[in-house]
Amino acid sequence: MDSLRMIENWPVKTAAAAVVTADGTVAGTHGPAGHRFALASVTKPLAAYAALIAVEEGAIELDEPAGPEGSTVRHLLAHTSGLAFDEQRTMAAAGTRRIYSNTGFEVLGDHIAKATGIPFPEYLRQAVLVPLGMAATDLPGSPAKDGVSTLADLVRFAAELQAPRLLDPRTVAEATTVVFPDLPGVLPGYGNQKPNDWGLGFEIRDGKSPHWTGALSSPRTFGHFGQAGTFLWVDPEAGAACVALADRAFGPWAVEAWPPFTDAVLAELRGH
């Protein structure tokens, strides 16, 4: 795909990108497929997938208490537990605000570890990484932000999101549609959004503006971006997913570069 070559113009030292279609076909790659990148918050969809596997295995339940008073596993996954961004402080009653929270995902990881008797990084490895052949991916720290992976591995995950093998497709459908709708909140890097819609560990595009995806992205688009200069989106209307990884922290360069890149990818997929 010629559109992927746009990453050559990004002001970064190393970048890699790929597109995988809904049938698992890799439509194109550009850049080093095996280079290991820090994922930052692109770690969260991986952690969420492991959490959903724990639900399907019966180790935990979405609506069991977890986190601050009144919060559940579902609240933690949807950033509605009320926990602050990066500290053990409750800022709102559960289910009343969308407060994007690294702490919430760390509480979730601890909750799963206690329920399964397996440290969360190891649970993620056994539940998600090994079955998908993601041998170059690991989690040396926080389930919110410390994952390390490669383009080749995340292509495998992007294919799984579109044609689930590890989870019931209905579970993935629930996780990638809006949970606790109409809640306002801050989308990191892009300011207040009303509503700031989210699924279970996946951000939902909907009508957010500004946004890190493109003008051509459908409202059903879901995924995540990370402060390490990384993103993964799945656009069900386009029948494709895109992974882009870079080694420069998110900032104005990404705000400027990512949407036209996504629009070029989508236009090429549509044959325009």
Mean predicted confidence (pLDDT) in 37-63: 98
Give residue-wise pLDDT tens across range 102-151: 999 999 999 999 999 999 999 999 999 999 999 999 999 999 999 999 99
> 139: domain range?
2-269
CATH of the domain at 161: 3.40.710.10
CB atoms < 10 A from the CB of 271, how many? 5
As a residue count, the chain comes to 272
pTM for this entry: 0.98
Confidence of residue 15 (pLDDT cuts 50, 70, 90): very high
98: left (phi over 0), alpha (psi -120 to 50) or beta: beta
What integer pLDDT is reported at residue 272 of this predicted model?
A: 63
pLDDT at 219: 98
Tokens representing 224 are 């995540």
- What whole-number distance in Å separates Cα of residue 168 and Cα of residue 183? 27
Number of domains in the chain: 1
Mean pLDDT of the chain: 97
Element (H, E) at 103: helix 102-116
Q: pLDDT band at 201, cuts 50/70/90? A: very high
